[in-house]
Amino acid sequence: MSSYYQRHSRFFQFCSFVYLVPCNYNPRTDRFEETLSNRIRFAIFIAQAIPFWFYDLKLTTAMYLENITPIMVTVGTIEIIVYVSIIGCTLLNVFCKRRHIAKLMNVLFRSDWLLDQFDTIEQRYDQNRTITLVVLVLIMLSCVNLYNIRETHIWTLTLNMTLKMFGVSLLTLEYRIFVSAIGMRMEQLKQLLEVHRNGHLQERDILRDFIARYDLYVDQIRLVNRCFSFPITVVLLLVLLELVYLLFDCYTILVGRGWEVGVDKSYAHWLMRQTWQMIYAGVLLLLANACQCAKKKVSSDV
Tens-digit pLDDT string for the chain (302 aa)? 788 899 999 999 999 999 999 999 988 888 999 999 999 999 999 888 888 778 777 777 776 666 566 776 777 778 778 877 888 889 999 999 999 999 999 999 988 877 878 778 888 889 999 999 999 988 988 888 788 777 777 788 778 888 888 888 999 999 999 999 999 998 888 888 877 776 555 555 777 888 888 899 999 999 999 999 999 988 888 888 877 777 777 777 777 655 555 555 556 666 767 777 778 778 888 888 888 888 887 776 55
Q: Which amino acid is at 149?
A: I
> Exposure of 27 by Cβ count < 10 A (0-12 exposed, 13-18 middle, 19+ buried)?
exposed
Amino acid at 260: E
Quickly list H helices, the chain. Answer: 3-7, 9-17, 36-64, 70-96, 98-108, 128-147, 152-196, 206-254, 267-300
pLDDT at 270: 67
CA distances (Å), origin 56, targets 10, 42, 59, 214, 293: 31, 20, 5, 46, 37
Strand partners, 32: 25
The residues spanned by each domain of the chain are 3-300
Q: How many CA atoms lie within 13 A of 264 on its CB side?
A: 7
Write down the pLDDT at residue 38: 93
Judge whether 227 and 175 are in contact, CB under 8 Å: no
Asked if 83 and 60 touch (Cβ cutoff 8 Å), the reply is yes
Nearby residues of 95 by Cβ (< 8 Å), 6 or more positions away: 19, 22, 42, 46
Q: Which of 174, 194, 190, 197 is nearest to 290 (CA)?
A: 174
pLDDT at 263 (0 to 100): 52
